[in-house]
């Protein structure tokens, strides 16, 4: 009975002479208090939060980069098909002009315009100069009545569409395309000029 009382006293600490707080019997004088544990845990918790946030940020950036790459790959695939269709439409336009088939000229001209618009939507698949060249051609065709154009005009349009099928477009190509359109009587600033007049 005396041994149990001694053991109880070893495991209890008197507080204000009225109550006791039981402490683990396996804690010795070198043990760290709960308050010290909590204080030491705070920097560790913050560090883990920051590390987790950093991982999420890196993962988000990686995911964004993957989406950008996938979008560009899709644009490249789409451009190939639209470029082939625009070439076919431009060749058919030339053939229709030579045969004086006005209705066919109108249809092939509209088909060409539609394919050029789809190419513009997928312009991320090509370099900036390519986009500039496409933009100039679209502007030049914006005011064209395809059922009335002559053979030489249709051939100039075809030559520029063929340039869009090249692997690369440089500044010299853009100047050459502008020259061909101008010589054919097509204004590559027509869309901008019309907009300014309407305003």
Alpha helices of the chain — where are they, by DSSP H? 2-10, 34-98, 102-121, 128-141, 151-164, 171-183, 190-198
Q: Radius of gyration (Cα) for the chain, nearest Å? A: 38
pLDDT score of 178: 94
H or E segment to which residue 188 belongs: none
Nearest to 158 by CA among 177, 183, 132, 131: 177
Record the pTM.
0.63
User: Sign of the CA dihedral 139, 174, 97, 95?
Assistant: negative
pLDDT at residue 49 in the model: 62
CA neighbor of 163 nearest in space, from 140, 144, 146: 140
Q: Which two tokens stand for residue 81?
A: 């098909």
Domain ranges of the chain: 79-198
Tell me 33's DSSP state: P
- Looking at residue 60, its pLDDT comes to 56
Q: Which helix (H) or strand (E) holds 187?
A: none
Q: From the centroid of its chain, how far is CA 51?
A: 28
pLDDT value for 58? 58
Give the pLDDT score at 68.
74
Walk along the chain (199 residues) and give the pLDDT tens digit of each residue: 444 544 444 444 444 444 444 444 444 444 444 454 454 454 556 666 666 666 655 555 555 557 678 777 887 888 999 999 999 999 999 999 999 999 999 999 999 999 999 999 999 889 999 999 999 999 999 989 999 999 999 999 999 999 999 989 999 999 999 999 999 999 877 655 444 334 4
Tell me whether residue 75 is exposed, middle or buried, using C-beta atoms within 10 angstroms of its C-beta: 0 to 12, 13 to 18, 19 or more: middle
Q: Judge residue 51's burial from the number of C-beta atoms within 10 Å of its C-beta, 0-12 exposed, 13-18 middle, 19 or more buried.
A: exposed
Instruction: Please report the pLDDT score of residue 19 as a whole number.
Output: 45
What is the C-alpha separation between 108 and 94, in angstroms, rounded?
Answer: 9
**3-state SS assignment for residue 17:** coil
Dmax over CA atoms of the chain, in Å, equals: 124
CB 114 within 8 A of CB 61: no
The helix/strand/coil state of 14 is: strand
- Supply 181's token pair: 């359109």
């Amino acid at each position: 009975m005396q041994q149990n009382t001694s053991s109880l006293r070893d495991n209890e600490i008197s507080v204000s002479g009225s109550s006791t707080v039981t402490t683990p019997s396996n804690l010795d004088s070198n043990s760290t208090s709960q308050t010290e544990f909590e204080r030491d845990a705070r920097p560790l918790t913050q560090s883990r939060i920051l590390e987790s946030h950093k991982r999420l940020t890196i993962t988000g950036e990686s995911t964004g980069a993957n989406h950008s790459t996938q979008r560009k790959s899709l644009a490249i695939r789409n451009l190939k098909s639209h470029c082939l269709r625009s070439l076919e439409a431009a060749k058919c336009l030339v053939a229709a002009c030579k045969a004086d088939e006005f209705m066919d000229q109108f249809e092939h001209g509209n088909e060409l315009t539609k394919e050029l618009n789809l190419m513009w939507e997928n312009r991320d698949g090509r370099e900036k100069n390519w986009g500039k060249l496409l933009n100039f051609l679209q502007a030049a065709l914006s005011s064209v009545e395809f059922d009335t154009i002559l053979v030489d005009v249709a051939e100039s349009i075809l030559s520029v569409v063929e340039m869009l099928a090249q692997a690369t477009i440089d500044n010299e190509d853009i100047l050459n395309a502008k020259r061909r359109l101008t010589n054919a009587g097509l204004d590559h600033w027509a869309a901008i000029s019309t907009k300014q007049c309407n305003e």
